[in-house]
Amino acid sequence: MILLAIPLGMFFGFSLYYVGATKPSKIINMLRLKDLSLAKIILGAIGFGSLAIGIIGVLNLFPTAHFEIKPLNLGVLLGGLIFGIGFGLVGSCPGTAMASLFTNFKHAIWVILGGIVGTLTFSSSYGFMKDLGLVNKLNFGKLTLFDISSKGSSLFHLGISGLIIWGALLIIVAIIIPKTLLQ
């Protein structure tokens, strides 16, 4: 099963390259609302994934009890904020940086090194932050949008059908939003 990850990862990397997600300028223009073509692809992909998981759940092809849900707390929120700021400043994230290693080498190397430094900084300071009580502050527990697993609570109690509706709505939004909001 692990060998399947190699061709899937290569396909994912090629897909990122093909749609332009490896170009920092494309990501920055998306965040500036100048070129939403990448946002349309992202929304469509999340919608498709939500639909697929919903259908798999309805057909009971894969037990949803196997989904691992991580707790939402202050540390996750702060980490997401730091990640988002970095993403917006450099126009790249770990996935797009790995995919652009052979196309935009210098930029990709700096993003990957920054990710490694950030990971090491977090790992080495985790004990200190936990002792200060920052890790479990604002602990919302294992929270999801829809209750597809008994392992956590959800914002909307619509189950698998809610996930399917959500997926369909995201695909519709991806189709109807314009390519640009600002010129």
Nearest to 104 by CA among 96, 113, 94: 96
Q: How confident is the model at residue 126 (pLDDT cuts 50, 70, 90)?
A: confident
6-20, 127-141, 165-179: which has the highest mean pLDDT?
165-179
* C-alpha 18 chain-centroid distance: 19
Q: Report yes or no on 149 lying in a domain.
A: no
Determine the pLDDT at residue 162. Answer: 84
Q: Report yes or no on 170 lying in a domain.
A: yes
Whether residues 64 and 89 fall in one domain: no
DSSP one-letter string for 129-174: HHHHTTTTTT--BSEEEE--STTSEEEE--HHHHHHHHHHHHHHHH
Indicate whether 43 pLDDT > 90. yes
Cα–Cα distance, 2 to 68 (Å, whole number):
18
Q: Report yes or no on 84 lying in a domain.
A: yes
Domain region containing 60: 12-68+158-183
Q: Report yes or no on 1 lying in a domain.
A: no
Indicate whether 156 pLDDT > 80. no
Indicate whether 183 pLDDT > 70. no
Cα–Cα distance, 82 to 111 (Å, whole number):
14
For range 60-81, the mean pLDDT: 80
Whether residues 108 and 120 fall in one domain: yes
Mean pLDDT of the chain: 85
Q: Report yes or no on 61 lying in a domain.
A: yes
Determine the pLDDT at residue 3. Answer: 86
End-to-end CA distance of the chain: 46
Please state which of the ranges 66-70, 109-113, 172-176 shows the lowest mean pLDDT: 66-70
For range 114-133, the mean pLDDT: 88
